[in-house]
Amino acid sequence: MTFDVVVIGAGAAGLMCAAQASYAGRRVLLLDHANKAGKKILMSGGGRCNFTNLATTPQHFYSENPYFSISALKRYRPEHFVELVERHGVDYVEKAPGQLFCATSAKDIVHVLLTECDWAGVDVQLKTRIDRVERNGEGMRLTTSSGCIDAGVVVVASGGLSIPTMGATGFGYDIARQFGLEVLPTRPALVPFTLSEPWKSRFAELAGVSVEVSVSCRDKSFLDPMLFTHRGISGPAMLQISSVWQPGDALTLDILPGEDAGEALRYARETTPKRQLSTWLGERFPKRLVQALMSWYVDTQEGRPLAQYSNAELDAWATRLNAWELKPSGTEGWRTAEVTLGGVDTAAISSKDFSVKDLPQLRFIGEVLDVTGELGGFNFQWAWASGVACGQAC
């Protein structure tokens, strides 16, 4: 079999790239070892796929080279993908500012992409194992479980390492190394934290409670909900900060963002001295969290009237509320991480067409590259943008 373009990986980036290359007149084969295309799309956004973010800019991505994503993101913008889903009649909602989700199901996005591949004339071949990729004169040759395939160009769109049960492999990194490219260290990101005792048991008792927090680590801060879980802490704020957290780092949590707790407590003591501390907390936090805070910090269950608190005691409470230091023991790892930080070093890749600079018949797109978005639809926008840029140039 001979094709102009063989795309490896029928995920977000690969489906987009294959359709675009085929529309551009190339004979395209899209290969995947999985039994279904777009498995991660199907499980994304809680089954509703947060397919883009209207505020996409390169500042929302982590990479050794922060300039690499500029060109593709500029050329294929969120509005372009919105236009595509609208053209296919898919309903969507803006669940949080800029974050667009399917109104019904993530299946709609996979359907859009497979329909595009079908209309463009892409050959989609699933359940195919790729054993070898090598140079073959001016082109490339693949040895697969369904035979030998010759290709003018091979596009690697095999994604990152997160959720191995969904078919994630280090295939793309192996191919990159085989052809002499550097692979930057990989790390699970957008992932919940685990805790050691006593916090593990304490937080488990609060499983299901959610509060708005501002969380900081290293040079980053995020203002988002945090969720207590049986295993530790999750929710958008924690997923976001996990992308900068390194083992051993403490997180600084402001669980009363926007309010100076010290000032507010002193004011309350002055104006309502008979009020219990727990009443004051209860106006700001869910009841279960108030009870937990009171018990962790060995206050009486109701607390004393505010008048009985010294300045030092109020300061200690203010620190717990505005600058609570918490040291996670780790993260849940690849099993639940949404994305992979690191990956194929972009230094050897063209930001225009995603070809390897010394080997233009080999290309890398999507998450396999060292480009990782924040939470909120940025990772799919990168998959679409890199897929389009590469596909149109194949």
Tell me which residues touch ligand FDA (CB under 6 A). 8-14, 32-34, 39-40, 43-45, 49-50, 130, 157-159, 162-163, 167, 169, 171, 338-339, 366-367, 377-380, 383
C-alpha dihedral (295, 301, 307, 309), degrees to nearest 10? -20
Calculate the alpha carbon distances from 79 to 3, 89, 199, 333 in Å.
32, 15, 44, 33
| Distance of closest approach, residue 162 Cβ to ligand FDA, in angstroms | 5
Closest residue to ligand FDA, judged by C-beta, is 11
Considering beta carbons, is residue 172 or 303 the nearer one to ligand FDA? 172
- List, as one string, the DSSP characters of 58-117: GGGEE-SSTTTTHHHHHHS-HHHHHHHHHHTT--EEEEETTEEEESS-THHHHHHHHHHH
Considering beta carbons, is residue 13 or 277 the nearer one to ligand FDA? 13
As beta bridge partners, residue 341 has 187
Considering beta carbons, is residue 13 or 211 the nearer one to ligand FDA? 13
Which amino acid does the sequence have at 252?
Answer: T
Considering beta carbons, is residue 45 or 328 the nearer one to ligand FDA? 45
Cα 270–Cα 319–Cα 214 angle in degrees, nearest 5: 110
Considering beta carbons, is residue 50 or 278 the nearer one to ligand FDA? 50
| Distance of closest approach, residue 207 Cβ to ligand FDA, in angstroms | 19
Rounded to 5 degrees, φ, ψ at 221 are: -135, 145
| Distance of closest approach, residue 379 Cβ to ligand FDA, in angstroms | 3
**Sign of the torsion formed by the C-alpha atoms of 319, 322, 325 and 326:** positive
Considering beta carbons, is residue 30 or 217 the nearer one to ligand FDA? 30
Cβ within 8 Å of residue 83, ≥6 positions away? none
Residue 235 gets which letter from DSSP? S
| Distance of closest approach, residue 349 Cβ to ligand FDA, in angstroms | 14
Cα 245–Cα 172–Cα 113 angle in degrees, nearest 5: 95
Considering beta carbons, is residue 9 or 235 the nearer one to ligand FDA? 9
| Distance of closest approach, residue 37 Cβ to ligand FDA, in angstroms | 7
Considering beta carbons, is residue 34 or 70 the nearer one to ligand FDA? 34
Calculate the alpha carbon distances from 342 to 186, 187, 243 in Å.
5, 7, 11
Considering beta carbons, is residue 355 or 379 the nearer one to ligand FDA? 379
- List, as one string, the DSSP characters of 172-231: HHHHHHHTT--EEEEEEES--EE--TTHHHHHHTTTT-EEEEEEEETTEEEEEEEEE-SS
Residue 305 gets which letter from DSSP? B
How far, in Å, CA of 161 to CA of 291, rounded?
40
| Distance of closest approach, residue 335 Cβ to ligand FDA, in angstroms | 10
Helix (H) or strand (E) holding 277: helix 277-282
Q: In the Cβ-directed half-sphere of 196, how many Cα atoms lie within 13 Å? A: 5
| Distance of closest approach, residue 249 Cβ to ligand FDA, in angstroms | 23
| Distance of closest approach, residue 34 Cβ to ligand FDA, in angstroms | 4
How far, in Å, CA of 346 to CA of 64, rounded?
8
| Distance of closest approach, residue 61 Cβ to ligand FDA, in angstroms | 11
| Distance of closest approach, residue 174 Cβ to ligand FDA, in angstroms | 8
Kindly state the tokens that stand for 339: 């994305």
Considering beta carbons, is residue 10 or 213 the nearer one to ligand FDA? 10
Kindly state the tokens that stand for 232: 């530790």
